């Protein structure tokens, strides 16, 4: 496991807890929940930049490169899609959609880590 995985682990779990707690308390999406998902996207951008730098520096991906980049691009599409959903549907259930982003990003980061090494 590398530092990028641990970054997404921390940010993803914190985001999931914040969003799930808001959903359980029957609150509509708010700044805290939306910003926590934006933080997940920021962590994924850091992962993207770090991965590009590692490839340019000569480090190779042990698994299939297309699979790694596919996971990364897909993971990066999830936060904007969830935020868009939560803006369109301002109910407590949108917070559970937002909560799923952190966990999904975490699982995808774990898989990307397996592919890299």
Distances in Å between the alpha carbon of 11 and those of 53, 67, 95? 22, 23, 16
pLDDT at 13: 96
Structural domains of the chain, count: 1
**Nearest-angstrom CA–CA distance, 83 and 43:** 16
Q: Which domain holds residue 106?
A: 3-116
Instruction: Give, in degrees to the nearest 5, the angle at Cα 4 between 42 and 80.
Output: 25
3-state per-residue secondary structure call for the chain: CCHHHHHHHHHHHHHHHHHHHHHHCCCCCCHHHHHHHHHHHHHHHHHHHHHHHHHHCCCCCCCCHHHHHHHHHHHHHHHHHHHHHHHHCCCHHHHHHHHHHHHHHHHHHHHHHHHHC
So what's the pLDDT on residue 1?
Answer: 63
Q: Per-residue pLDDT for the chain (117 aa), expressed as one digit of tens each?
A: 688 899 999 999 999 999 999 999 999 999 999 999 999 999 999 999 999 999 999 988 898 999 999 999 999 999 999 999 999 998 989 999 999 999 999 999 999 999 988
Residue of 34, 16, 42, 30 lying closest to 99 (CA atoms): 16
Taking the whole predicted model, whether its pTM rises above 0.85 is answered as yes
């Amino acid at each position: 496991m590398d530092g990028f995985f641990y970054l997404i682990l921390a940010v993803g779990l914190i985001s999931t807890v914040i969003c799930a707690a808001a959903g359980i308390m029957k609150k509509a999406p708010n700044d805290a929940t939306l910003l926590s998902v934006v933080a997940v996207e920021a962590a994924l951008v850091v992962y993207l930049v770090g991965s590009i730098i590692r490839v340019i520096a000569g480090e190779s991906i042990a698994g299939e490169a297309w699979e790694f980049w596919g996971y990364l691009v897909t993971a990066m599409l999830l936060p904007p899609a969830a935020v868009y959903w939560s803006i369109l549907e301002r109910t407590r259930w949108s917070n559970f959609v937002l909560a799923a982003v952190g966990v999904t990003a975490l699982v995808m980061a774990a898989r990307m880590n397996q592919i890299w090494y």
